[in-house]
Structure 1
Amino acid sequence: MIKVIIGFNRKPGMGIQEFRDYRRNIHAPMLFAIPEAKKIRRFVVSYPIETQGSEKPGFDAVVEAWFDTVEDMDGLFLSENFVTKVDPDHDNFIDMSSIVRLVCEEIVVVE
């Protein structure tokens, strides 16, 4: 199983709730409307919460997406639909200079 983890911050001037609402109600439906998104096996968005003694989080959100193979992942992210329809929308809610992307082979230790 291949997993991509992407951490990012909202664009400057955008409130946290506006950022979350945009990602959930506008961007996510746009992504899942393209046929190549069927290659995603699991998709999770995590938002940091404040806890006593915790440091300020480095990101406003972290996305995790699982794929069967690297080819399936590339089939989504390199597709014309993603490149022309989904990717340009990131500018509307993400600080593009904040993006950190990690492609991993996931090995489950405990379930």
Structure 2
Amino acid sequence: MIKISIFLTRRADLTHEEFVEYWTHKHLPLIASVTDGAVPVRRHVLLLPTDDEIPGLRSTYYDGVVEVWFDDIADATRWFTSAVFTTTVAADEEKFLDRSLTRFLYATETPIVG
């Protein structure tokens, strides 16, 4: 399996709260409405930042992170280049994301604990 972590930054004209509201109440239902068994996504998780800090540890800030699992990079490519993604999902992202600041991390997992 491959996991893609997608680091999201909101549009400059939106507050973090407006970003979260749109992302969770409009964008996610849109994704749910266009996906079916043909979409090769195995798992889809959203991460929202907290205000927590640990002294001495530097952090970076993103408005949110999406983690998406696929069987392999071919399935990920098929999803991210599909007509449904490019014409519906990516088009809707323009309403709340600064897509020029979106970053992708392609990774495999090696469990250490649990």
The TM-score, its normalising length taken from structure 2, stands at: 0.84
**Aligned mates of 1:107, 1:79 — CA distance in 2:** 29
Give the SS at the match of 2:5. Answer: strand
Instruction: Using the TM superposition, name which of 34-43 and 60-69 deviates more.
Output: 34-43
Matched, 1:49 2:50: yes
Count residues with an aligned counterpart.
111
**Aligned mates of 1:63, 1:82 — CA distance in 2:** 15
Who is 1:39 aligned against? 40
**Aligned mates of 1:83, 1:51 — CA distance in 2:** 35
Who is 1:104 aligned against? 107
**Aligned mates of 1:109, 1:56 — CA distance in 2:** 22
1:56 to partner: Cα distance: 6.0
User: For 1:1-111, what aligned pairs fall within 5 Å after superposition?
Assistant: 1-35=1-35, 38-52=39-53, 53=55, 55=58, 57-111=60-114
Give the SS at the match of 1:41. Answer: strand
Q: Report Cα offsets for 1:32-61 as digits up to 9, x if no partner.
A: 222367421111111111224465632111
The TM-score, its normalising length taken from structure 1, stands at: 0.86
Structure 2: runs of 5 or more not aligned: none
Give the SS at the match of 1:84. Answer: helix
What is the letter of the counterpart of residue 40 of structure 2?
Answer: K
Shift of the 110–15 alpha-carbon distance from structure 1 to 2, 3 Å rule, reads same
**Aligned mates of 1:38, 1:109 — CA distance in 2:** 30
Which structure shows the bigger proportion of residues in strand conformation?
Answer: 1
RMSD: 1.9
What is the aligned-residue identity percentage? 32
